[in-house]
Chains A and B, each alone.
Chain A
């Protein structure tokens, strides 16, 4: 079955540590996205990538970094510079930038800073 996988489902981090969230898709989609979800705020875009080896900042990129070395993978690193990292993180992908931008979502990773 095609889809998007995110791991781990739950992640605990001590203050001052960097952590990396995994996102893998086997849908052969070109574009991938990372969102942060906080209660009552909807989804906010962190980073997105249109193609391998290229990515752009979204609305709340500070304290985060990404890479896109493979079409299938778009890992997100939450750095120690992110002041309030506790949140639910969602990865998404879409098939083609020129068409309807329907995005498919992974199951999410819940990050808690201890």
Chain B
């Protein structure tokens, strides 16, 4: 079974600063990778996904992530944080043979004015 590790349960950034959320997975073959965002008391919304092809993936709201096979990582970044980015972010992974997603524990982002 896949496992996903999100380093840091809480990240605090200043408005306008870089947002960096870390995600590492365990897999012997390149999986499908996802980042989701969750606002309080709401469901999850897909930010971006990696399937095949270009390893730098651009998503909604100015976020992007880079798949690095050698590091088994899929870190999420945004160059300039906005107050509306305050939310919880989840990294998820599935492999080719399994239709289930394995989620990380989540990282809560707070944005300071």
Contact = CB atoms under 8 A, between A and B. Distances in A.
Interface of A: 4, 6, 31, 33, 40-45, 48, 50, 58, 88, 90, 92, 94, 97, 100-108, 110
B103 A48 contact: no
Contacts of B43: 4, 6, 90, 105-108
B90 A42 contact: yes
B44 A100 contact: no
B99 A94 contact: yes
B34 A105 contact: no
A58 B45 CA distance: 22
Contacts, number: 55
B44 A42 contact: no
Given A33-B100, A88-B41, A100-B49, 15 more contacts: A4-B43, A6-B43, A42-B103, A44-B103, A45-B101, A48-B100, A92-B44, A97-B99, A100-B32, A102-B46, A103-B101, A105-B44, A106-B43, A108-B41, A110-B41
A33 B101 CA distance: 10
B105 to A, nearest CB: 4
Contacts of B27: none
B51 interface: yes
Nearest to B50: A100
Contact of B100 (A40, A41, A58, A90): A58
Contacts of B34: 102
B9 A40 contact: yes
B13 to A, nearest CB: 20
Query: Which of A97, A105, A106 has the largest number of chain B CB atoms within 10 A?
Result: A105
